[in-house]
Amino acid sequence: MRILSIATLFPNPVKPSFGIFVGNQMRAIAASGDVDLTMVSPIGIPPWPLSRRHPYNKLADIPERSEASGLPVLYPKFTLIPKIGGDSNPARIARAVLPLVRRLHAEQPFDLVDAQFFFPDGPAAAIVARELGLPLTIKSRGADIHYWGRRPAALKQMQQAAHQATGMLAVSRALREDMVALGMPEGRIGVHYTGLDHERFHPIERGAARALVSAMPNLGIWPEGPLIVTPGSLIPRKGQRLVIEALARLPDARLALAGAGEDEKALHALAERLGVAERVQFLGLVGHDLLPHVLCAADVLVLPSASEGLANVWIEGLACGTPIVIPDIGGAREVVQDDTAGRIAARTPEAIAEAVRDILADPPSQADVSAHVSRFSWGVNAQNLVCFWRDVLAGEAITAAA
């Protein structure tokens, strides 16, 4: 099969961890040898001049083709209108991608156009697929449905792309139900769970991991006391504010926030106001080389997001033997199936604190926790995606689970 896959969230030479889970998936597919994969990751650049230090300048310098992510990727540039132009991104992405893919299709025809997110990738890929006369597949991952699905202009484009698509995937059964509720054709939507790098994410004895991360100058995590870790971008949707408020009810615990983002200043101020600043540590961005050690060192991983499909970090935390506390969103109940995996708690400081106290009072073994994700791997993930593409091209019915 010759597959053209479009993903705006994908590792690049400037941001190697950007969309790393999509990069892991596509590297596994390329390594399988079952697919001739052409990966296209459009890069948005504003149309007006920027200061020399502006982050977009570095993105503008990304070469049109690079193998920095571990496989060949094409990086066409499209015009991005920051903050106000989100709903109209798909058309601009398609205009930037089409000249390149028309030439490639003429040289060696593609069999299928694939999108790795529902918005903006899905409607953009739908335009490309129509222009090339090819079938279309689209994968949804959570925020693309839950955020963009509430914006009328974006939703209309998503619904049109969904009805054009021959097959679609969701990262959990719950997300599949959300897609159906938005008017997408149920019979064309399968479930495709995330993968996991077992060589990187596996249990390291908690005491040894804690000693290691406390000795690292760039981390310096406290060596003693119950440790809560909350990984993820510091943005309101991820709910770090709720974890800090819960910490005020857990006087012996400490909290390490692994991530960076626009909410950092407000979170610092909240910790000061609640009198817990000395027990909150802002680690900044933690690379995938150090993240497993941080997760293994934690007694509990807490991530009270407002929405998720099935978060990769849930699986990574469990793989490290760390129980998780998450809300009843997306595929939470498909992951937390009993108390050895953690707790499903309401998005309130009181509920989060109670769940953490329960786990600390009777912690499960790391082996019991990690057993919950033995079924996840990037190899299985890639194999299932390849089978899905084959079924689409063969005209087979889309199964409910993939």
- Average pLDDT of span 247-275: 97
Going from the C-alpha of 234 to that of each of 84, 186, 241, 302, 346, the distances in angstroms are 21, 34, 9, 13, 20
Residue 222 three-state SS = coil
pLDDT (tens digit per residue) in 298-323? 999 999 999 999 999 999 999 999 99
* Percent of the residues in the chain that have a pLDDT greater than 90, as a whole number: 89
Say whether pLDDT at 50 is over 60.
no
- Average pLDDT of span 144-149: 93
CB contact set of 400 (below 8 Å; sequence gap of 6+): 173, 176, 190, 191
26 or 396, which is more confident: 26
What are the helix (H) ranges across 288-377?
A: 291-297, 312-319, 332-335, 349-361, 366-370
Angle at 360 (CA atoms; ends 357, 366), nearest 5 degrees? 140
pLDDT (tens digit per residue) in 218-232? 888 999 999 999 999
Say whether pLDDT at 239 is over 70.
yes
Contact yes or no for 255/281 (Cβ under 8 A): yes
Q: What is the Cα–Cα distance from 340 to 161, expressed in whole angstroms?
A: 40
pTM: 0.89
Contact yes or no for 288/20 (Cβ under 8 A): yes
